Amino acid sequence: MSLKSPCCGLILCLPPFGILGLQRFYVGDFCMGILYFCTLGFFGIGWIIDLCIIPGKIREMNALLTQPKTVIHQTAYQGTSAPVASDPLLAQFVQSSITQRAVQQSQQAQMTQQLLHQQQETIKQAQKEKEYLARQAREKEERERKEKEDKAKEEKIRESMRQEFLIQQQQRMLHQYP
């Protein structure tokens, strides 16, 4: 990108160019340029505001273009490669970003471990509940089986008692009526 002239920006702000948004295209703000073009400079209000703003905006763009670029290079840092900047403020920002990222990753790992532990506890509890229900079902089946056996024994005893009673009656009858 090349440096822009504030005077040229002011000339583009004047009618009819300013109302059509050409000053916005000049500073690289294409979306606003299209919007100005379609609304005739926000019905003239945006055009008047741009008369004050555009020269300052052009000066800011030119200042950014003329600043020396900060070089970031890779350096071995404790066995890993970490970005280090030649500008101390940028180096501090990069280092704080790396630290913040490491803290976030550590927190995510802790949360993942907590969730995994909760899931394992839930699975253990579900298994215990399943075992308890299975034990209850086995005990119920055992009780029912014993009850059936007891009923069958009682029925056999009743049947044998009935037959004994019948045999005894028959014998009495035989003794009474020879």
| pLDDT number for residue 114 | 93
Angle between helices 30-43 and 45-66 (to 10 degrees): 150
Give the residue extent of every domain in the chain: 6-66
Query: What pTM was estimated for this model as a whole?
Result: 0.38
Q: Which residue has the tokens 């379609």?
A: 38
Identify which of 62, 60, 49 has the alpha carbon closest to the alpha carbon of residue 23.
Answer: 49
For residue 36, what are the contacts with CB-CB under 8 A and spacing of at least 6? 19, 20, 21, 24, 42, 46, 47
DSSP-derived secondary structure for 38-75: HHHHHHTHHHHHHHHHHHHHHHHHHHHHHSPPPPEEEE
**Cα gap 115→125, rounded to integer Å:** 15
Tell me if the bond preceding 6 is cis, omega within 30° of 0: no
| pLDDT number for residue 124 | 94
**Cα gap 130→137, rounded to integer Å:** 10
Alpha helices (H) in the chain, listed in sequence order = 6-13, 17-20, 22-26, 30-43, 45-66, 88-176
| pLDDT number for residue 178 | 61
**Cα gap 8→4, rounded to integer Å:** 8
Taking the CA atoms of 145, 150, 154 and 159 in sequence, report the sign of the dihedral they define.
positive
pLDDT in tens, the chain (178 residues): 678 888 888 788 888 888 888 888 888 888 988 988 899 888 888 888 888 888 888 888 888 778 765 544 444 444 444 444 456 667 777 788 888 888 889 999 999 999 999 999 999 999 999 999 999 999 999 999 999 999 999 999 999 999 999 998 888 888 887 6
